Each structure stands twice: as C-alpha cells, then as structure tokens.
C-alpha cells in the first residue's frame, strides 16, 4: 500500500533567499525602517541558530496518516501534589500509547485571566503546572504544539509595568488612542469596550484591548515588539515545540479607519514568521487561529498571492501550513441535530484543493466555544437561530460580539460537544453516545489532520459549577478531572466515559494505520440522500481507496450507493471482507470500507 507523495520537509531556506524574503516582508510592514530591522533580525537569528540546528526530527515529512493530535490544558488532569504536566504525560503514555502523535498543551505560562491567554511571562512555565523539564518530556514523547499568544499581554506583565512607569521597553509596547477616535469600523470578537482607561504617571491613557481589559493589545508598529516575539517563537522551538499556534493572529495590526482584521501587514508578519521557521527550523509547522467566516480563514494559506502558474512550477504558498476548520464544529452539530447532511455535503464539496505543504486542522471541540461566525453564508438566519435555541435547551449559553452598527450578534456557543449532541430538535433522546461518536468518526475521515479535545475523549458534561466559580461562560467546557475520579469512570463498566473513550481510541488506532487517511489523500463527497454522508478518500497510487459512510439520523437508512457495487470492499472496522454489499445502516452508524 502506498500513501500520496508526502509533503517532504522543506529544505532550509538558504541565506540569500531568506534575506530577500525578510527584506520584502519587513518593507511591507515598516517601510524605510526595514533595513535596520533586518539587521537586528539577522543578529537575533544568529544567536539561536546553533540551538535550533540540534533539535530532533528535522528533515522528516511534514505529516502523514499517523498524525492525530490531542488538545488539553496543562491542568485538565490533576492528581494530588503531582505536577499536572507530568500527570498529562503519564495519562497519554499509559492510557493512549501511540494513539496520538501530537499534543497541543494550551498556554502553560504564568497568566492572570482567560485560563492562560492573558500571559504574564512568555518564557516561564506556570509553577502550578510544572517546569520546562515537564514540557520537554512531553515534547520527547510526541509532537508538541505551543501557543504564541501574540496579539495581547496581561496587565500584570513586566512590559505593562514599564508602560505605567513610562520606562523602556514597555513604554512603547502598547497602543494609545484618543477615546473620541471613531473606531466604529473595527471588527470585534467581544462586546466589551475596545479602549480601556489606564492610570499612568502621565495621567489617564486609553489603550486598545480587543478581548478584555486584562488583555492589552501590543503595538506591532513598533519593530521592537515584533523582534521580541520572534525571539520568543525561537525559544519555544528550542524547548521542543514542533507546531506553533498563532493565537488571535487576525487582529494583530491596527489601522484607524479600517476593520483592523486581516490587514496586509498582519499577513506580511505571518509570512515573515513562516520564512524564519523555514530558514532556521525547517519542518516546524505554523498554524493560524482565526475564528472567522470560512473564506477569510482560508486566506491565511496565502494562496491568492501566488502568481498564475506558480503551483504548476512547483512553488508553494508561504504563509500558514495549517488553518483550523472552524466551520466544521457548528455545521456538524446542525447536521446531527437536524438529521440533514445536505449543507455539510455541499460545504465539503466546495473546499478548494490544497497544494503540497498546506492542510486543514479538523476539530469539533476545543477550549473555546463552538464558533458560529463560520456559518455566515452557509445557513439561513432561522436555521442558526434554531441551533442556538436548541443549545440553550441542552444547557449551553451563547457569547456575543459587538458589530460596527452598535448591535451585538452571536459569536460562539458555550457547551461541551458531548452535551451539544444529547438530542435532536425534538429534544433529548437515548442516542447521545451514538450521535456524539458519529460526529467524531466523521471528523476523523476528512482530509487534513484531526485534533480531539481531551473532554471529547471523556464525554465530559457541562460544568455549570465551573461557570459559577469563574464567572466566565467558557468554563462550561474547561472542567478539571481528578485522576482518581476519571480512572474510576474509565475502569468501571457501563459508563459513558468508558464507552466513548474506548470507542474513540479504537477508531483512532485504526485510522493511523490506513494510508487513505493521509492528510493529502484526495477527497470526494458522493451523491446521497440528505440522511447520509458518503466520503471517498483516494485513490492512492496503487489504486487503494476508502469509502466512509455515515447515517446522520436516528432511523435506519437504506444504502443504495453505486460506489458499493464498484469494488470488493474490506470492512476496516471489523477487519474482515464484506461478504455481501451492505443494504442499510443503523442510526448514527458509520462504515469505513477499503477497496481490495
């Protein structure tokens, strides 16, 4: 069996090519100051070069069918006084073995709010979680994804203390604005005030704060800020990070009179960061976190900047390697609660073919809520309203964002993914586990790399007590598990936690051994009734192909697919030949068939 031609690890970008790239990108951002910034950047890279050259894993393919990633906070699992990062690593080793090739440990730095995304110190590990030896241990066992929380910083950071005192370097690290400035065009992911009053030695100043009053945006018009973050980025790679997640990157550059999202300078900085990694740490992956409508999200591949015929000449995009499939989580909930896969099928058919070196990160749940902005243009308003109302009935909440017209609109649903699928539009029913597993099994079959939130593995329920403790809606999906409690649930018979965990582990273990699930293997959505979704992956170079079929309803559905009659099929889930062509599929059941 042969996989698609893998995206080989990129050859290091040579010095001359990198200098040309960096000069161009810095010119787009800093204009006549670019030459001086480039000289400082060159010195910074030389300082890190030897440490980066010694990192393990350089030169391997970017990804394969074995790539499956877990998402977790550093302290989602706690066990007495043991460092939680050690507990997480032991859980992965003992309970999951080789099931996951990578782990995304959400911000593990000292922080003051937002469960880690308001960073106090970027080069330290939160002592309540462990230390850098625990991070390096995790990175030694599997690929490590680390957040570069690049848009904003905590008010408790030393940079902010400098700002308040009027001292360097922090004095010029933030964005002061006259409170009377017209900022009505600015796109907001929150409905909190955009400008935050701050008492300084120079009097009250108003600072830009996209997300909260404790997350003060950084001023990338000051090249010192960019160079500081490049140093932080390289430090993370030196500590073992193989994947860098650019948090909230879409809001990086601010320019009054514009929406301040996806600005050209932001894309130029992403391209610069990609060029730096390709130059001094090839094989390190860059992923952008942009919870926005689908077409905007895809812009972070940089495909539209390629000249005509560039792909045919073997050129590759030079922005992110990966983007999140933000459309998938809400669209899957809509599909499985309505019993209608037609919109999901249409969206999947419309996904563009990606060149080598670009792929999707597929997920259903994460530490954040289920974003609904990605549904814009896909579902009519009344369908979105029906979805939001149903999530309220299932114990969830809806967070809002501010619009340019002064009104608020839905931004994300706050609920665990397991609870989001506890029923259909008719209400809760006995099919919750089967429906939830169908959502995960469907996600695992899609083109790209799958990532599962730890709370999906454990079928975690809504944590309303967590909301009461923190006062934040997102806490509903951020429960901490005491290992004694979780172990008991995993080891006891007939618990949803055990059933879901074992079912997902089994499916993941099957998936990583099937070459048709290579992230780059061709994907085709077949014509089916709205009650079914059928996806073909492949064919591979040896003709092997895989057919994944899903019943998205709570009723048995007949199977009358032409593709079933075109090949002799092997049931991948049962590891057996199909003696006869399947004629029907039970509620929320799925088939993974490979051609023989």
Is 114 among the annotated ligand-binding positions? yes
CA distances from 492 to 418, 485, 486, 506 (A): 19, 11, 10, 18
Q: In angstroms, how far apart are the furthest CA atoms of the chain?
A: 81
Q: In the structure encoding, which two tokens stand for residue 169, read together?
A: 């370097």
Other C-beta atoms lying within 10 Å of the C-beta of residue 350: 10
Rounded Cα–Cα distance for residues 107 and 91 (Å): 19
Rounded Cα–Cα distance for residues 102 and 449 (Å): 11
Please report which helix (H) or strand (E) contains residue 148, including its range: strand 143-148
Is 340 among the annotated ligand-binding positions? no
427 conformational bin, left if phi > 0, alpha if psi -120 to 50, beta if neither: left
How many Cα neighbours within 13 Å face the side chain of 313?
A: 7
Task: Compute φ and ψ for 411, nearest 5 degrees.
Answer: -115, -45
Is 152 among the annotated ligand-binding positions? yes
Is 247 among the annotated ligand-binding positions? yes
Is 474 among the annotated ligand-binding positions? yes
| Local structure of 187: helix, strand or coil | coil
Rounded Cα–Cα distance for residues 511 and 75 (Å): 28
Query: Token pair 């951020």 is at which residue?
Result: 478
Distance of CA 307 to the CA centre of its chain: 28
Q: Is 50 one of the annotated active-site residues of the chain?
A: no
Q: In the structure encoding, which two tokens stand for residue 382, read together?
A: 């009344």
- What is 16-63 written as a DSSP string? HHHHHHHHHHHHHHHGGGHHHHHHHHHHHHHHHHHHHHT-TTTTS-S-
Is 507 among the annotated ligand-binding positions? no
Is 278 among the annotated ligand-binding positions? no
**588 CB-near residues (< 8 Å, 6+ apart):** 336, 431, 434, 435, 437, 438, 550, 551, 552, 553, 554
Among 67, 75, 247, 520, the one annotated catalytic: 247
- What is 506-544 written as a DSSP string? HHHHHHTT-GGG-TTS-EEEPP--TTEEEEEE---TTS-
Active site residues: 247
Residues belonging to the binding site are 114, 152, 245-247, 367-368, 474
Residues belonging to the binding site for substrate are 114, 152, 245-247, 367-368, 474
């Amino acid at each position: 069996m042969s996989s698609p031609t893998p995206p080989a690890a990129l050859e290091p970008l040579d010095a001359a090519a990198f200098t040309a790239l960096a000069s161009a990108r810095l010119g787009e951002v800093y204009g006549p100051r670019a030459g001086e910034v480039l000289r400082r950047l060159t010195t910074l890279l030389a300082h890190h070069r030897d440490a980066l050259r010694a990192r393990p894993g350089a030169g391997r393919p970017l990804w394969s069918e074995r790539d499956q990633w877990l998402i977790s906070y550093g302290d989602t699992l706690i066990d007495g006084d043991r460092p939680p990062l050690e507990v997480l690593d032991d859980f992965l080793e003992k309970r999951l073995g080789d099931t996951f090739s990578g782990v995304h440990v959400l911000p593990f730095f000292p922080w003051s709010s937002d469960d880690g995304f308001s960073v106090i110190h970027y080069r330290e590990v939160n002592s309540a979680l462990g230390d850098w030896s625990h991070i390096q241990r995790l990175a030694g066992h599997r690929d490590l994804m680390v957040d570069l929380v690049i848009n904003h910083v905590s008010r408790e950071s030393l940079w902010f203390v400098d700002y308040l005192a009027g001292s360097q370097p922090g004095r010029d690290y933030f964005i002061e604005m006259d409170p009377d400035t017209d900022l009505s065009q600015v796109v907001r992911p929150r409905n909190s005030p955009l400008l935050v009053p701050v008492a300084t030695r120079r009097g009250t100043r108003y600072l830009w704060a996209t997300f909260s009053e404790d997350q003060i945006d950084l001023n990338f018009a000051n090249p010192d800020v960019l160079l500081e973050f490049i140093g932080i980025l390289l430090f993370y790679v030196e500590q073992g990070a193989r994947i860098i997640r650019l948090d909230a990157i879409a809001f990086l550059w601010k320019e009054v009179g514009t929406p301040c999202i996806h600005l050209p300078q932001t894309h130029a900085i992403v391209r610069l960061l990609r060029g730096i990694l390709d130059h001094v740490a090839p094989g390190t992956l860059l992923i952008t976190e942009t919870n926005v409508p689908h077409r905007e999200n895809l812009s972070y591949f940089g495909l539209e900047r390629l000249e005509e015929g560039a792909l045919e000449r073997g050129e590759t995009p030079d922005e992110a390697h990966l983007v999140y499939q933000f459309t998938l989580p809400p669209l899957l909930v809509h599909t499985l609660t309505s019993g209608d896969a037609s919109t999901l099928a249409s969206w999947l058919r419309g996904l563009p073919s990606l060149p080598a070196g670009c792929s999707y990160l597929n997920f259903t749940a994460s530490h954040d809520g289920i974003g609904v902005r990605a549904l814009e243009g896909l579902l009519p308003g009344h369908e979105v309203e029906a979805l939001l109302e149903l999530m309220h009935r299932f114990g969830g909440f809806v967070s809002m964002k501010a619009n340019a017209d002064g009104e608020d609109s839905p931004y994300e649903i706050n609920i665990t993914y397991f609870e989001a699928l506890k029923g259909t539009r008719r209400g809760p029913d006995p099919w919750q586990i089967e429906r939830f597993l169908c959502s995960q099994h469907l996600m695992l079959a899609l083109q790209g790399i799958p990532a599962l939130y730890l709370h999906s593995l454990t079928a975690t329920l809504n944590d309303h007590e967590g909301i009461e403790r923190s006062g934040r809606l997102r806490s509903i999906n951020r429960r901490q598990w005491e290992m004694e409690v979780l172990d008991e649930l995993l080891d006891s018979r007939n618990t949803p936690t055990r059933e879901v965990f074992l079912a997902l582990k089994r499916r993941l273990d099957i998936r990583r051994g099937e070459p048709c699930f290579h992230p780059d293997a061709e994907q085709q959505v077949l014509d089916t009734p709205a009650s079914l979704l059928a996806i073909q992956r492949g064919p591979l170079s040896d003709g092997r192909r895989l057919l994944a079929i899903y019943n998205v309803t709570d009723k048995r559905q007949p199977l009358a697919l032409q593709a079933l009659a075109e090949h002799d099929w092997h049931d991948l889930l049962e590891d057996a030949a199909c003696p006869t062509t399947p004629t029907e599929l039970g509620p929320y059941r799925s088939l993974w068939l490979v051609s023989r």
